[in-house]
Amino acid sequence: MTDAGKVLIVDDKQANLMLLQQDLEGEGFDVESADSGAACLAAVAGYRPDVILLDIKMPGMDGIECCRQLRALPHTQETPILFLTASGDSDDLLAACLTAGGSDFLQKPYNPTALVARVKSQIRLSRTQAALKRLEGG
């Protein structure tokens, strides 16, 4: 594992995957990608990401349902999930993402500096929570 962390990006558009991967790998992250909700669920079985970037609107299983299923898995219950959202998405849709277990949002098109800052922040928070849990004996 790289020191920066492991990121799984999930988007049905290949161009988005390539751009996100380029931006994150340029900052030292170990990045894997999946092009659907089903591929995401398969990927987390072997690749244990520190954070998941998840597109909301995808054919088949959308990001909200994928998030629900990720939260039901023991090894991804606590993994931060940042939803990728188009600027036109409704407040109700964004609320549904949080209700499903999402941690945060990134607007598309995203600012690469903000992307990296949000990913680093979620990884730092997750690692701190895990360390506290270990100290408490959990």
Whole-prediction pTM value?
Answer: 0.93
Of 35, 41, 38, 42, nearest to 20 by C-alpha is: 35
Cβ neighbours around 114 below 10 Å, total: 11
Determine the pLDDT at residue 138: 61
Of 60, 56, 51, 113, nearest to 86 by C-alpha is: 56
Query: Can you list the domains of the chain with their CATH numbers?
Result: 6-135 (3.40.50.2300)
- 3 state SS of 134: helix
Determine the pLDDT at residue 23: 96
The single-letter DSSP state of residue 46 is T
Under the banding of pLDDT at 50, 70 and 90, the label for residue 14 is very high
Instruction: Report residue 45 as tokens.
Output: 């079985």
Mean pLDDT of the chain: 93
Of 26, 28, 27, 24, nearest to 11 by C-alpha is: 24
Over 50: is that where the pLDDT of 91 sits? yes
Using one digit for the tens of pLDDT, what is the confidence trace for 105-118? Answer: 898 899 999 999 99
Do 8 and 43 touch, CB atoms closer than 8 A? yes
Looking at the DSSP bridge assignments, the partners of residue 31 are 7
CA 22 – CA 121 distance, rounded (Å) = 19
Using one digit for the tens of pLDDT, what is the confidence trace for 26-70? Answer: 999 999 999 999 999 999 999 999 999 999 999 999 999 999 999
CA 22 – CA 16 distance, rounded (Å) = 10
Strand 51-55 versus strand 104-108 pairing type: unpaired
